[in-house]
Amino acid sequence: MAVACLLMAGGAQAEDSDPGLKPSPALRPAPTGDAARAHAPLYLRADEIDGQPTAQVQAQGHVELRQAGVVIRADQLRYDRAEDLAVAQGRVRITFQGSSFSGPEMQLKVQRMEGYVREPEYHLAQTGAGGRADRVEILGPGQSRVINGDYTSCSRDGSEKPDWVLSARRLDLDLDTSVGVAEGAELRFMDVPILSLPTLSFPLSDKRKSGWLPPNLEFTSGSGIELGAPYYWNIAPNRDATIAPSISTRRGFAVDGEFRYLQPDFAGKLNLDWLPHDVVADRSRYWLTFDHEGRISDHTRYSAQVERVSDDNWWNDFPRRHVSLTPRLLPATLQAEGDFGSKDRSAELYARSQRWQLLQYPNTMEAPFDRSAQFGFRSAGALLGGTQYAFETEGNRFDLPDNPGYTSQSMPSNGTRMHAQGWITRPWREPGWWVTPSMLFNAASYYTDEPMSDGRNSAARVIPTFSLGGGAEFERQTQWLGRGLRQTLEPRLLYVNTPYVNQSSYPNFDSAVKDYSFASIYSENVFSGIDRVSDTNALTAGVTTRLLDGTSGAELMQLGIVQRYLFNDQLVTESGIPESKGFSDVLLRGSTRVLKPWNLEGYLRYSPSVDRVVRTILGAQYAPGPFRTLNLTYRYARDVSSQWEGSWQWPLYEPDGGARRRNVGSSASCSGAWYSVGRLTYNTTDNRLTDSIVGIEYDAGCWIARLAVSRWSTGVSEASTQVLFQLELVGLSRLGSSATSVLRDNIPGYQLLRSSRSTSPESAFYD
């Protein structure tokens, strides 16, 4: 029969108290701090107990000692109350805050958590890793020292060697600072040494720390094999930097740098990639980005976004490094904004300057205008009787950038524009319906450096617009396949009347036709920007129906159709050719999540004038579970392009249905899980594969390997290839290239096989 003895921190216990452990309906955290643990009760259970509770106790057989979250189990144990010293032998196991130490012999000062374990096996709950050693010295609740030991997240079967292991003469593990430091360190993978350093530091959590990150190894067709050794500098809690010197077999030495900062009133990031001498190009080259946002006061903000490269050919040689969505058109924008006004009527003053760098290789393209200077004022709010208004006025100076790409005959003139635009509306909204009449205007005056087509250097115009919009919202309860649903029917109308004003002789600094979509067809002007206003006498009619989950309100299905009818010919068009009155193209869209795990989406544009579909986007996603996603998209634009895109992440082989994959510490062996990943884009117009990435992932439980080959087009007959290889040691770090970021950016629905630390500064090697 088990005998239990309760040793109270203040002395002897009452004789009639129950010494046994009682079940508790709630879990409470163990006391923290030396003082709290000193006053916590100590529980001892064993087959045999003798001694004096207030002095020294000996216990034998299934011994279990508990105090303040510390649990010691052993075959034999002696506890000296005066010295707070527990000495245990035979199948000793200590657990504290989820971590454990097991060995044949242990000495521990329980309240201070100081002592040692001889020939232990240990496990850290914070990292899911552990190892074996000659001795572990426990230096406190969060510190321990491993003597002649190793560290790995792979489980062991007897004497079998783990797939990866970090060995060291001394290994200091500090859970308070989340840092491990190994002296005489050697990292072996598959019993092959891959890294050996006199001192090696690595993180035990996601906290930041200065030091060397894991080396980067990449292969691209443009640069060859590139090896980088990034260094992370944790300057302060709100500032850090990463400096990555690298060497490539084709282009030579390079340095990549990133500096980040965060202050109460401003924040930003600076990136610089510099090649002192590109062997292929035989010159120095660079890529620079700067992104900064700040505020001078609660009502005044400013920002700067800059991207610049050394030469026109940079985007072709290093296409994966750009921030801009258009890699041949790089912006530099500075702006400031100041808010004032009241709660009901906002007002804002702003200033901006924007200049472009245009990369004119391998062919020229026409550049947009720089906004050398832009000053404006905008305001919006409510007036009397529920009337609302919005107003904006601006002054702009437009200049073409260097080498703008125009022929001498088509070169537009630089100039200045002053404009004002606004609207006033009175919306009525009641449950189930709404009506909104509006009056709009667009006024602009121009001053050009060169004469316009009619010989003038200045011109002005004012264009008014009237619109009347309205709609209704109907609902009904329904059921489908025994599932409670709510269906909506949402008809919508918009009438627009804008008189014709001849604008053919005016400059066009920033206007373009909007993409024909459900959003643009319900707008008063078919052009974006200021310089072009379409003459319109049209009625737009559409209807949308939705199926919503009756319980959660989540949208399960949506179907919509919309079309516009022109009562008069539209004379102001992009091409200059009038658009005949009559019905416009029909837009159809739909999506559904009813057929789980399918997600289907579709968009279709049908032209009655040519009696055919002129644009289509169809997409399907099949995601039946974690790490299982199939995506297929078809895009078609008549006389422009037709392409298929497929992407996936799918298991090729999962032992035990993937259960072992979810066990971080499982043994690797040769029975890990295999996954295929990729994305393929095929252009049926040119009958060629434009962009592609195909790879494979292997999850061995305590390590993951990724191999992928990426190929993307940089021209009609040019392409660049990149080989990505990454080795992730679970509980330690990732080595190799940034394969995970490439897969995540290219495969919708892609999931990391394990949510562990990455090669970010928070999760790297340091020495």
Give the number of other Cβ atoms within 10 Å of residue 629's Cβ: 22
Asked whether residue 206 carries a pLDDT value surpassing 80, the answer given is no
**410/642 Cα distance (integer angstroms):** 31
Residues 132 and 200 occupy one common structural domain:
yes
Which of 183, 205, 227 is the last residue in one of the domains? 205
Q: Are 620 and 593 in contact (CB under 8 A)?
A: no
Residue tagged 């329904």 (tokens):
478
For residue 70, give its domain range: 1-16+35-119
Return the minimum-mean-pLDDT range out of 17-21, 126-130, 733-737, 740-744: 17-21
The SS3 of residue 657 is helix
Q: Indicate if the alpha-carbon torsion angle 371, 377, 382, 384 is positive or negative.
A: negative
Give the tens place of pLDDT for each residue, 414-451: 999 999 999 999 999 999 999 999 999 999 999 999 99
For residue 216, being part of any structural domain is answered with no
Label residue 765 by pLDDT band (50, 70, 90).
very low
Give me the pLDDT at residue 665, please.
44
Residues 135 and 196 occupy one common structural domain:
yes
Label residue 763 by pLDDT band (50, 70, 90).
very low
Asked whether residue 492 carries a pLDDT value surpassing 80, the answer given is yes
Give the side-chain half-sphere CA count within 13 A for 448: 21
Q: Are 190 and 203 in contact (CB under 8 A)?
A: no
Name every residue whose Cβ is closer than 8 Å to that of residue 343 and which is 6 or more positions away in sequence: none
Residue 216 tokens read as 């980067």
The SS3 of residue 324 is coil
What number is the average pLDDT over the span 704-727?
85
Asked whether residue 325 carries a pLDDT value surpassing 80, the answer given is no
**344/625 Cα distance (integer angstroms):** 48
What number is the average pLDDT over the span 661-670?
45
Name the phi and psi angles at 762, rounded to 5: -75, -5
Please, which contacts does 19-23 make with residues 24 or more away whose CB atoms are closer than 8 Å?
21/45, 21/66
Q: Which residues pair with 478 in a beta bridge?
A: 485
Please give the residue that has the higher pLDDT: either 716 or 75: 75
Pairing of strands 3-7, 598-607: unpaired
Asked whether residue 38 carries a pLDDT value surpassing 70, the answer given is no
What number is the average pLDDT over the span 400-416?
88
Residue 397's Cα: distance from chain center in Å? 37
Label residue 762 by pLDDT band (50, 70, 90).
very low
The SS3 of residue 53 is coil
Label residue 154 by pLDDT band (50, 70, 90).
confident
| Distances in whole angstroms, Cα of residue 637 to Cα of each of 318, 600, 723, 729 | 29, 20, 32, 46
Residue count of the chain, please give it. 767
For residue 90, being part of any structural domain is answered with yes
**685/219 Cα distance (integer angstroms):** 30
Asked whether residue 507 carries a pLDDT value surpassing 60, the answer given is yes
Using a cut of 0.85, tell me whether the model's pTM lies above it. Answer: no
Label residue 584 by pLDDT band (50, 70, 90).
very high
Label residue 764 by pLDDT band (50, 70, 90).
very low
Give me the pLDDT at residue 475, please.
94
What number is the average pLDDT over the span 705-733?
84
For residue 389, being part of any structural domain is answered with no
Q: What is the largest CA-CA distance in the chain?
A: 113
Return the minimum-mean-pLDDT range out of 210-224, 531-545, 576-590: 210-224
Residues 88 and 12 occupy one common structural domain:
yes
**674/574 Cα distance (integer angstroms):** 53
Residue 583 tokens read as 């019905």
User: Pseudo-torsion of CA 653, 655, 658, 659, nearest 10°?
Assistant: 180
Asked whether residue 276 carries a pLDDT value surpassing 90, the answer given is yes
For residue 548, being part of any structural domain is answered with no
Give me the pLDDT at residue 753, please.
87
Tell me the pLDDT of the chain averaged across its residues: 87
For residue 95, being part of any structural domain is answered with yes
Residue tagged 């434009």 (tokens):
690
Which of 119, 141, 172 is the last residue in one of the domains? 119
Q: What share of the chain is helix, strand, coil (3-state, %, to 5)?
A: 5, 60, 35
The SS3 of residue 34 is helix
Asked whether residue 407 carries a pLDDT value surpassing 90, the answer given is no
Return the minimum-mean-pLDDT range out of 167-171, 341-345, 463-467, 561-565: 341-345
Q: Are 474 and 432 in contact (CB under 8 A)?
A: yes
SS (H, E, C) 519-576: CHHHCCCCEECCCCCCCEEEEEEEEEEEEEECCCCCEEEEEEEEEEEECCCECCCCCC
b/e map 695-720, b = 16+ CB within 10 Å: bebbbbbbbbbbbbbbbbbeeeeebb
Give me the pLDDT at residue 9, please.
37
Give me the pLDDT at residue 323, please.
67
For residue 45, being part of any structural domain is answered with yes
Residues 50 and 162 occupy one common structural domain:
no
Give me the pLDDT at residue 24, please.
55
Which of 55, 88, 119 is the last residue in one of the domains? 119
Q: Which residues pair with 144 in a beta bridge?
A: 138, 173
**CA 496, 502, 505 angle in degrees (round to 5)?**
140
Asked whether residue 35 carries a pLDDT value surpassing 80, the answer given is no
Straight-line distance from the first to the last Cα atom of the chain, in angstroms, rounded to the nearest whole number: 54
Residue 92 tokens read as 């000793």
Of residues 303, 313, 275, 270, the one with CA closest to residue 288: 270
Residues 111 and 136 occupy one common structural domain:
no
Asked whether residue 534 carries a pLDDT value surpassing 90, the answer given is yes
Q: Which of 212-216, 638-642, 645-649 has the highest mean pLDDT?
A: 645-649
Query: What's the total number of domains in the chain?
Result: 2
Q: Are 190 and 154 in contact (CB under 8 A)?
A: no
Give the side-chain half-sphere CA count within 13 A for 339: 13
Residues 201 and 138 occupy one common structural domain:
yes
For residue 57, being part of any structural domain is answered with yes
What number is the average pLDDT over the span 34-41?
65
Label residue 750 by pLDDT band (50, 70, 90).
very high
Give me the pLDDT at residue 757, please.
40
What number is the average pLDDT over the span 645-656?
91
| Cis omega (within 30 of 0) for bond into 401 | no
Residues 65 and 147 occupy one common structural domain:
no
Give me the pLDDT at residue 222, please.
86
Give me the pLDDT at residue 283, please.
94
Asked whether residue 14 carries a pLDDT value surpassing 50, the answer given is no
Asked whether residue 732 carries a pLDDT value surpassing 50, the answer given is yes
Q: Are 200 and 212 in contact (CB under 8 A)?
A: no
What number is the average pLDDT over the span 608-627?
93
Residue 637 tokens read as 């634009």
Give me the pLDDT at residue 10, please.
37
Residues 7 and 64 occupy one common structural domain:
yes
Residue 334's Cα: distance from chain center in Å? 26
For residue 447, being part of any structural domain is answered with no
H-type helices in 545-663, by residue range?
A: none
What number is the average pLDDT over the span 47-72?
87
Q: Are 350 and 335 in contact (CB under 8 A)?
A: yes
Asked whether residue 664 carries a pLDDT value surpassing 80, the answer given is no
Return the minimum-mean-pLDDT range out of 360-364, 413-417, 759-763: 759-763
Name the phi and psi angles at 743, rounded to 5: -65, -40
Give me the pLDDT at residue 446, please.
97
Q: Are 443 and 495 in contact (CB under 8 A)?
A: no
Give me the pLDDT at residue 264, please.
93
Residues 155 and 52 occupy one common structural domain:
no
What number is the average pLDDT over the span 248-257?
94
Percentage of residues in the chain having pLDDT higher than 70:
90
Give me the pLDDT at residue 5, please.
39
Cβ neighbourhood burial of 24 (10 Å; 0-12, 13-18, 19+): exposed
H-type helices in 410-453, by residue range?
A: none
Give me the pLDDT at residue 654, please.
86
Residues 10 and 90 occupy one common structural domain:
yes
Residues 1 and 88 occupy one common structural domain:
yes
DSSP 102-149: EEEEEEEETTTTEEEEES-EEEETTTTEEEEEEEEEE-SSSEEEEEEE
Give me the pLDDT at residue 158, please.
64
Which helix or strand (DSSP H or E) is residue 367 part of? none
Residues 103 and 148 occupy one common structural domain:
no
Instruction: Report the CATH number at residue 41.
Output: 2.60.450.10
Return the minimum-mean-pLDDT range out of 283-292, 666-675, 720-729: 666-675
